[in-house]
């Protein structure tokens, strides 16, 4: 499978002294519905580009039973009829701000029937997106390399969870935990990807 060309969503690693400022800023932002909506629209924009990229490379979401046998495969395919007014081809090469500055594009979310769920969470959606992109691009099929890769991803995108797991004495158990956490984020991201393909964000 070809490598994804979309990039991870930029994030900042805040120091302990900055956390209170971040929380205060987020609380102020939540008082403005326009600000809240724009952040969700920003993520929707990125997830849609990810969907388009996955469609290009023929990505399939695989569902397995407890015995790890494949029981269902779903091709990632953007519903072009639903997104007919989004100008999908040029969108793929555009930055969010340039695309969103067009009033016609902003109105798509309110007048086009595109509504995000009440449980949309910015930081969780960013984390899952970034974990998915890193995992998809770096997965080798080699068990030991992939386990190390999962640990690296946890350390970069889920530092808080990584530090909690560091307290565990068993190195092999930690590696298993890293793998489990990364795969859960990948699966959760896949659910959002399939929802976005059909004009929902997220399900």
The pLDDT of residue 85 is above 50: yes
123's tokens: 């930081």
Pick from 25, 6, 46, 1: which is nearest to 134 by CA? Answer: 6
Residue showing tokens 């993520």: 43
For 164-190, how does the pLDDT look when each residue is reduced to its tens digit (9 = 90+)? 555 555 555 566 788 888 999 999 999
pLDDT at 107 (0 to 100): 85
The pLDDT value recorded for residue 58 is 95
pLDDT of residue 71: 82
Beta strands in the chain (DSSP E): 60-64, 70-75
Split at pLDDT 50, 70, 90, the class of 51 is very high
Q: What is the pLDDT of residues 111-158, one digit of tens each?
A: 766 666 655 578 888 989 999 999 999 998 888 898 889 888 888 877
The answer to whether the predicted template modeling score (pTM) of the entire model surpasses 0.85 is no
* pLDDT single digits (tens) 7-22: 999 876 545 454 445 4
Q: What mean pLDDT comes out for the span 70-82?
A: 90
Arithmetic mean of pLDDT, 80-108:
90
| Long-range own/partner contacts, residues 38-44 (CB < 8 A, 24 or more apart) | 38/100, 39/122, 40/116, 40/120, 40/122, 40/201, 41/100, 41/106, 41/109, 42/96, 42/100, 43/9, 43/120, 43/122, 43/125, 43/126, 43/129, 43/201, 44/109, 44/114, 44/116, 44/196, 44/201
Extents of the domains making up the chain: 18-197
Residue 66 has pLDDT above 90, yes or no: no
Position 108 pLDDT exceeds 60: yes
């Amino acid at each position: 499978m070809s490598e994804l060309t979309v990039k991870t969503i930029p994030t900042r690693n805040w120091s302990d002294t900055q956390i209170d400022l971040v929380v205060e800023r987020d609380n102020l932002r939540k008082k403005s519905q326009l600000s809240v909506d724009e952040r969700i629209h920003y993520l929707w924009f990125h997830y849609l580009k990810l969907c388009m990229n996955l469609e290009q490379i023929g990505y399939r979401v695989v569902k397995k039973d407890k015995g790890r046998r494949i029981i269902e495969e779903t091709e990632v395919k953007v519903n072009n009829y639903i997104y007919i007014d989004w100008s999908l081809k040029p969108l793929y090469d555009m930055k969010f701000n340039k695309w969103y500055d067009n009033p016609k594009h902003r109105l798509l979310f309110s007048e086009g029937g595109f509504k995000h769920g009440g449980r949309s969470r910015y930081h969780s959606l960013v984390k899952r997106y970034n974990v998915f992109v890193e995992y998809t691009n770096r997965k080798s099929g080699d068990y030991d390399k992939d386990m190390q890769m999962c640990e690296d991803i946890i350390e970069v995108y889920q530092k808080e969870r990584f530090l909690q797991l560091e307290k565990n004495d068993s190195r092999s158990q930690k590696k298993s935990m890293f793998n489990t956490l990364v795969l859960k984020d990948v699966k959760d991201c896949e659910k959002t990807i399939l929802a976005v393909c059909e004009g929902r964000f997220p399900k």
